[in-house]
Amino acid sequence: MSPNDKIMKKLLDSEKTDRFRKLIEQSENIVLTCHVRPDGDAIGSTLGMMHLLHSLGKRAIVVVPDQPPRVLNFLPGIKSISVFTRHEEYCRRLLDEADLLICCDFNKLSRQDAMGEVTGAVKCKKVLIDHHQYPDDFCDLTFSFPDMSSTCELVFRIIAAMGYYTEMDLRSATCICTGMVTDTRNFSVNCKNPDIYEVLMKLLEKGVDKTKIVKEALLTQSLTSLKLQSYAISEKMEIFEQYHGAVITLDLKELERFKYEKGDTEGLVNTPLNVKGIVFSFFLREDEDCIKVSARSIDDFPVSQMCEDLYGGGGHRMAAGAEFHGTLEECRRILIEAMPRYKGLLPQKLSKIE
């Protein structure tokens, strides 16, 4: 049975999905891409769409700006991905030869680092599928839904609206479900909309093993990561009771001491929010060339605004980030000094931190 048309199509403009379908029909050589430091949603949406395109008899390949995290190695098709930082010439050629480019899960070319320039210069038609706020106008066709739980959910809806639900195989469904699971932290955030469960049901009907996805993509952690995160929480977390905020900082020396590998601090920024009374959490990590800022909040507190005002970053209202050029200490100071200015935006009812 195909998904309930009314539910699947209610947000999507059929003129747009028809145009996308025509673009796919006319193309033989399709490239899919996503943002730098790709997560479950970025990889899930591109691979999910790739498998669908294969079912339709198209040549399709995923090209990503840099290496996907190891926790996603279980995803069908992950080995076929081409990584720009590793094989730049080859990736440039793939993009050059493409007759359709599908951009997933990013709203501006700068979110692709060095690869963004290449994506921007590609001659073929481009389609954007994304759920970040205020997308730039760099594609011929843009599907932008900031209220959507994940780009993967949007990909599913677009596939269903184009009439390709039947062609979606288990591999495609598994990739799409992964992005929904990671972006909603297994349906605990961004999942108010009842329609999400309709999409989930349709994915489960395809045979998706959600238990495995949750275990692999969300719950698996390396021993070094567990130790580093435990240290960060017990030694490097500062609580600002008056402002209901938490700040964690890690410098290069500490990262080295714990043999930090990419992805090891994944999810760390969320941990302080487990404590009752903490409304927002910042994690500042020293990198080779900048300070990586990530921020999360609850109860609609706009950390995206803080990231934008303080560091020129952005993101979602309750999940945002930035890059700061300066020292870790400066970055921390700016944040702490700004806290009083955002006090008025805290929720009316606040619990004591305990």
Interface positions with Mn ion (CB under 5 A) = 41, 105, 151, 183
Q: Cβ-closest residue to Mn ion?
A: 41
Nearer to Mn ion, 149 or 172 (CB): 149
Nearer to Mn ion, 34 or 60 (CB): 34
Nearer to Mn ion, 105 or 286 (CB): 105
Nearer to Mn ion, 55 or 186 (CB): 186
**Shortest distance in whole angstroms from residue 148 CB to Mn ion:** 9
**Shortest distance in whole angstroms from residue 1 CB to Mn ion:** 28
Question: Residue 207 and residue 124: Cα distance in Å, rounded?
Answer: 35
**Shortest distance in whole angstroms from residue 131 CB to Mn ion:** 6
Nearer to Mn ion, 111 or 125 (CB): 111
What angle, rounded to 10 degrees, do the helices at 303-311 and 328-338 form?
130
**Shortest distance in whole angstroms from residue 151 CB to Mn ion:** 5
Nearer to Mn ion, 151 or 229 (CB): 151
Tokens of 51: 């498998």
**Shortest distance in whole angstroms from residue 318 CB to Mn ion:** 13
**Shortest distance in whole angstroms from residue 296 CB to Mn ion:** 14
**Shortest distance in whole angstroms from residue 202 CB to Mn ion:** 19
Q: Shortest CA distance to 279 belongs to which of 308, 303, 247, 245?
A: 245
Placement of tokens 């403009």 in the chain:
13
Tokens of 63: 């090209």
**Shortest distance in whole angstroms from residue 34 CB to Mn ion:** 9
Nearer to Mn ion, 190 or 265 (CB): 190
Find the farthest-apart pair of alpha carbons in the chain and give their distance in angstroms, rounded. 59
Q: Are 183 and 296 in contact (CB under 8 A)?
A: no
Tokens of 286: 């020293």
Q: Shortest CA distance to 248 belongs to which of 216, 303, 289, 296?
A: 296
